[in-house]
Amino acid sequence: MNSQGPPTDPEPRQLHPLPRGLVELYGLMAVLFVLVPEWMAGGALFSFRDGRQGSELPVPSGAWRRLPELRLATMGLADLRRLARQQRISGYACLNRELLTARLLQRLREPSSEVRDLL
């Protein structure tokens, strides 16, 4: 049993360099397999955009305007908290997104709710 630590190699290991032609071949293969498909995909995406006219985003459907669940789902957490503050929902700052959305939907279902006007 040797208590002096890990054994050391008496002679350093010799690494053999790769031939220059092989290194250039690997470089060419990297360009062909990585960059060329990336350029092709970028060109295809660019051509799809040229064929379209009008807005980049689709128009919101009627269901998105009618259903408050969909509108609340598209709002960010800061917007949900701002709406909860306007509606004087207590403890809104410590609620996560799901609980906050549920509390706002509950407030929407009340008969005298003014949240519908804010959405």
Task: Return per-residue pLDDT of the chain as tens, 119 residues.
Answer: 555 666 666 777 788 888 999 999 999 999 899 888 888 888 887 777 666 666 565 666 777 677 888 888 888 999 999 999 998 888 888 889 999 999 999 888 877 655 555 55
Instruction: Provide the residue ranges of all domains of the chain, joining segments of one domain with +.
Output: 67-118
Structure pTM? Answer: 0.44
Question: Residue 114 in contact with residue 89, Cβ under 8 Å?
Answer: no
> Which residue, 75, 73, 86, is CA-closest to 117?
86
Q: What pLDDT is attached to residue 23?
A: 92
Q: What pLDDT is attached to residue 27?
A: 92
Q: What pLDDT is attached to residue 68?
A: 83
Amino acid at 27: G
Three-state secondary structure of the chain: CCCCCCCCCCCCCCCCCCCHHHHHHHHHHHHHHHHHHHHHHHHHHHHHHHHCCCCCCCCCCHHHHHCHHHHHHHCCHHHHHHHHHHCCCCCHHHCCHHHHHHHHHHHHCCCCCCHHHHC
Q: What pLDDT is attached to residue 60?
A: 64
